[in-house]
Amino acid sequence: MHHANHYYGHSHVLARYCGLAQRAAPRIHGYLQHGWNIGDGLADDHEFVTGTPVFLWSERTRRRAWSMGRRELYVVGAPFAYLLAMASPPAAGREGTIWYPFHGWEGQHVVGDHGRLIDQIRATEPGPVTICLYWQEFQSRRLRRRYERAGFRVVCHGYRGGWWRDLDPGFLDRQLGELRRHARVAANRLTSAIFYGVLAGCEPAVYGDPMLLERDAGAHGGHARIRRQWAELHGERVDPALAREAAVAELGADRLVPPAELRHLFGWHA
């Protein structure tokens, strides 16, 4: 089915949870939400065939999708939440902040002032800082060097994969490993990474120049709506209890499906 089901190793993580770990994850019979969004869970640039099952992360997203006319909707939780459910307890000791600058994708690049963002990070974060760049930005040696010259460690979790090629089953494992070594997770926009970090035990922060995507149409209310609806999750210091409650709800961490049921929903037969 849709190639986006394999982004970030999502299908591999779910296959592992279902006891079907193998080199090539089985195809999911349906469309799996691959990132946190404020719409119906589907990417605006992806074609969608009416009648195809849609597997969403949360009940909140399912309700929005239903109101927008989507049907055949199932809440299964985010793959990252399944990874955490399978993971061993974290090692003791965390320090510093892992910071995720807002990134573009193959069809749209980010417009923003990285110099100003660097100054804000240095003025705010007390401990060592790791900058995690998306693969597209990580390819820019000039951008990497700007963050490195500021004294930051720069990493990339890997390539997300695309069109059933260059798949990376270990993407989320590396992301979880990085999150667990840091005390804080921060970004200049509220994104999946912030919710992942909160679920993994990090103190969150969302601040700084939010930057823009080229030709951004502001779908479903855009960044302005995110700032209004999740105002309590923005700032240099965020209430950990409120952040935890939001992360569980948005990632469907309280809605994980047993392996046998998930195999049935995805059309996976061992």
Convert 71-132 into a string of H (helix), E (strand) and C (coil). CCEEECCCHHHHHHHHCCCCCCCCCCEEEECCCCECCECEECCHHHHHHHHHHHCCCCEEEE
Confidence grade of residue 46 (pLDDT, cut at 50, 70, 90): low
Domain positions in the chain are 3-87+251-266, 97-250
128: tokens are 């060592």
Q: Locate tokens 């079907």: which residue?
A: 20
Tell me how long the chain is: 270
What CATH number does the domain located at 97-250 have?
Answer: 3.40.50
Q: Do 32 and 53 contact (CB within 8 A), yes or no? A: no
Instruction: Flag the least confident range among 13-27, 125-139, 222-236.
Output: 13-27
pLDDT for residue 23? 64
pLDDT for residue 151? 95
Confidence grade of residue 240 (pLDDT, cut at 50, 70, 90): very high
DSSP 193-228: HHHHHHHTTPEEEE-S---EETT---GGGHHHHHHH
Mean pLDDT of 63-79: 93
Q: What is the pTM of this model?
A: 0.92
Q: Say whether pLDDT at 219 is over 80.
A: no
pLDDT for residue 93? 86
More confident residue, 165 or 51: 51
Confidence grade of residue 26 (pLDDT, cut at 50, 70, 90): confident
pLDDT for residue 42? 84
Mean pLDDT of 3-11: 89
Mean pLDDT of the chain, nearest integer: 88
Confidence grade of residue 270 (pLDDT, cut at 50, 70, 90): low
7: tokens are 């982004």
Confidence grade of residue 223 (pLDDT, cut at 50, 70, 90): confident
Q: Say whether pLDDT at 133 is over 90.
A: yes
pLDDT for residue 36? 93
Q: How far apart are CA 44 and CA 7, in angstroms?
A: 16
Percent of the chain with pLDDT over 70: 87
Confidence grade of residue 167 (pLDDT, cut at 50, 70, 90): confident
Q: Say whether pLDDT at 63 is over 80.
A: yes
Q: Say whether pLDDT at 43 is over 80.
A: no
Query: Which DSSP category does 136 fall into?
Result: H
Q: Do 57 and 36 contact (CB within 8 A), yes or no? A: yes
